[in-house]
Amino acid sequence: MTTQDATTAGPDKSGATAGPRLSPAIVLLFAIASGLSVANVYSAQPLLDTMASDLGITPAAIGIVVTLTQIGLAFGLMLIVPLGDLWDRRKLIVGQIALSAIALVVVGTAPNAVVLFGGMALVGLLAVVIQVIVAFAATLAAPAERGQTIGTIQSGVVSGILLARFASGALADIGGWRVVYLTSAALMLVMAALLARALPRQAPQPLAGASYAKLLRSTATLFTEEPVLRERAVFALLAFASFSAFWSSIVLPLAAPPLSLSHTTIGMLGIAGLAGALAARNSGRLADRGWGQRTTGLSLLLMLAGWAPIACLNTSLWLVLVGVVMIDFAVQAIHVTNQSLIIATRPEASSRLIGVYMVFYSIGSGLGAIASTIVYAAAGWLGVCALGGSISAVALLYWVIVVSRTPTPVGVCSVSS
Per run of 10 residues, the mean pLDDT along the chain (length 417 residues) is 38 42 83 91 79 77 76 85 86 93 92 88 91 87 80 84 78 86 94 88 63 84 89 93 89 83 72 66 73 86 95 89 89 88 84 87 85 91 95 94 58 36
pLDDT of residue 287: 73
pTM (two decimals) = 0.76
Beta carbons within 10 angstroms of residue 214's beta carbon = 12
AA identity, residue 323: G
What is the chain's Cα-based Rg? 20
Residues 320, 310 contacting (CB under 8 angstroms): yes
- Identify the CA nearest to 273 among candidates 216, 234, 324: 324
pLDDT of residue 205: 60
pLDDT of residue 249: 86
Cis status, amide bond into 257, omega within 30 of 0: no
pLDDT of residue 407: 52
- Identify the CA nearest to 165 among candidates 21, 265, 49: 265
What letters, b where the CB count within 10 A reaches 16 and e where it falls short, cover 118-143? bbbbbbbbbbbbbbbbbbbbbbbbbb
pLDDT of residue 7: 36
pLDDT of residue 204: 54
pLDDT of residue 263: 66
pLDDT of residue 159: 83
pLDDT of residue 18: 42
pLDDT of residue 359: 84
Residues 242, 248 contacting (CB under 8 angstroms): no
> What's the CATH class of domain 11-405?
mainly alpha
pLDDT of residue 413: 36
Residues 6+ apart with CB under 8 A from 139: 11, 15, 16, 17, 89, 347, 350
Q: Give the separation between CA 394 and CA 335, rounded to whole angstroms.
A: 17
Residues 306, 330 contacting (CB under 8 angstroms): yes
For the chain, give every domain's residue range. Answer: 11-405
State the burial class of residue 68 (Cβ atoms within 10 Å of its Cβ: 0-12, 13-18, 19+): buried
